[in-house]
Structure 1
């Protein structure tokens, strides 16, 4: 796909997006079912592969590793809190009889939308959807036979009334940049990613999903990991080509959301512009109380990025003949990036607060939304 063709495609998509009618969002849901990657994984990958996240993960809020790729809470945690719903338990965590009455989390760190051909996270979007189908079938079967587990599992009508949230695609784009030589090749891969996403949405719709909440992807080129790998080249120090790919992905995802809304008249589809929120935060970080826009809180190497691909946050390794540790910073509230790939608890809280204003949603959230939600 040439750059000229891509520009023409963007113009067509913009016209399509703004010519489609919007519907209102209710936001009173008995349960939430979440799908995605590490941006919203509350412990699936750790439980599914028997992995361990070491301190300082979790240091800010949970005060111990919680299965989240963060020092504390994720955006999904803040959204659940705002709706007065409990944090979502990961589907794969069977320890301590987790309660799924108000929903379940299927997101897994490293997950892609389109199943990777080789190694990678085994819990891609199609697998997450399959896990949901099994979860629903088992829950309905159990509750049909006995009411003993009512307080642990969602009632059958919850599945139609629930909110289905999605935050996935970042790893697909990251993998594409590692696999392909040119930006045009990466852009040509985007329709394949979104076709797999649409297939999963269709399966969920067939199972009664009617309220879809879809996050676009953030500025990929502003992650310290990618800046360290490719070199920042824009005015903020981010990677231009990767942010261009994120924008193309988001435009096509937005168009898909409009298509789904038009195709299924009984569905409420909300598209949330995470990219704009995160870009604004990075560009104006000091205005929002942050001191570091692109340097990781937990990492190794010091300024300007404090990121070294050879050693992950919390690890101790021998590098260049010396034993070193990727430590956490003293005050993560001053940092946007936690470990070079994920955001801090403080940054996630800011992003969630902006989501809940409704200004970044299509359709926009009702004016009464901030008064219905418990904004933190």
Structure 2
């Protein structure tokens, strides 16, 4: 889908350029600026989320192989359209995400690891991230794609879980926006911003008083403050493979 949208966007720009219309007035980049821009992809989270919560027995190697192959196909497509600088994010530790921890409360067979995260979920994610890195290394070599860079979203998330004070976080395993009722502030039947009935009482999943104390906004997505930490790390070239400074890449 991302590749399809990219091709469609590029096609529309080419149509505008062919008609000699003012790209700046339309707030569109030129084809040159588009292909020479910084591209960012954050794939696979939904692929794993949907499977992990719906199936007790996951064929991890087969699942990971299918997902990584799909990402590789997408990368080849984007590269074929002229994109030369691509930051690809790996998958965050889903076993530490509040939504999955909340799900585990009703599934006692899901064991926790030393970080109080769901071990089996993180094992699948770790396998994905390892295979993703191998694929990136292979594509960099095959396509001479030096601008293909892996951003280790998993590592910065785990760093915040293990060293929350470093990020001014006090509740690393809880969601800011939720319906409460447990330590993770998660009610799977009442997602962020929605209302529902709990024991005959209407409950609304609202935001916390200080989102900056949380990693997770709604159980999966980061809070604005943690997203700033992610962006800052990316700008500085931290948690990247190979070493890459977005700040330097953005210089004219």
Query: Residue 157 of structure 1 corresponds to which residue in structure 2?
Result: 32
Q: CA deviation at 1:191?
A: 0.8
Matching of residue 148 in structure 1 with residue 22 in structure 2: yes
Distance 2:142 2:149 in 1: 14
Question: CA 1:178–1:349 in structure 2 vs 1: closer, same or farther (change >3 Å)?
Answer: same
Question: CA 1:148–1:262 in structure 2 vs 1: closer, same or farther (change >3 Å)?
Answer: same
Unmatched runs of 5 consecutive residues or more in structure 2: 106-110
Deviations 1:289-345 (A, max 9, x none): 211111111111244111100111121222322111112111111112211122111
**Aligned mate of 2:168, from 289, 292, 304:** 289
Matching of residue 223 in structure 1 with residue 102 in structure 2: no
Q: Which structure carries more helix by proportion?
A: 2
Contact residue 295 and residue 303 of structure 1 kept, 8 A? no
Query: Residue 108 of structure 2 corresponds to which residue in structure 1?
Result: none
Q: CA deviation at 1:130?
A: 1.1
Distance 1:353 1:160 in 2: 24
What is the alpha-carbon root mean square deviation over aligned residues?
A: 2.1
Distance 1:340 1:196 in 2: 26
State how 1:122-137 maps to structure 2 within 5 Å.
127-137=1-11
Query: Residue 207 of structure 2 corresponds to which residue in structure 1?
Result: 328
Query: Residue 198 of structure 2 corresponds to which residue in structure 1?
Result: 319
Query: Residue 362 of structure 1 corresponds to which residue in structure 2?
Result: 241
State how 1:210-359 maps to structure 2 within 5 Å.
210-231=84-105, 233-359=112-238
| Higher relative contact order structure (alpha carbons within 8 Å, sequence separation ≥ 6) | 1
Query: Residue 63 of structure 2 corresponds to which residue in structure 1?
Result: 189
**Normalised TM-score (structure 1):** 0.61
State how 1:29-68 maps to structure 2 within 5 Å.
none
Q: CA deviation at 1:186?
A: 2.5
Query: Residue 174 of structure 1 corresponds to which residue in structure 2?
Result: 49
Deviations 1:237-259 (A, max 9, x none): 21011111111100111111111
SS at match of 2:171: coil
Count, aligned residues: 245
Contact residue 178 and residue 185 of structure 2 kept, 8 A? yes
Contact residue 173 and residue 186 of structure 1 kept, 8 A? no
Unmatched runs of 5 consecutive residues or more in structure 1: 1-126
Query: Residue 209 of structure 1 corresponds to which residue in structure 2?
Result: 83
Question: CA 1:156–1:175 in structure 2 vs 1: closer, same or farther (change >3 Å)?
Answer: same
Question: CA 1:372–1:268 in structure 2 vs 1: closer, same or farther (change >3 Å)?
Answer: closer
Question: CA 1:197–1:371 in structure 2 vs 1: closer, same or farther (change >3 Å)?
Answer: closer
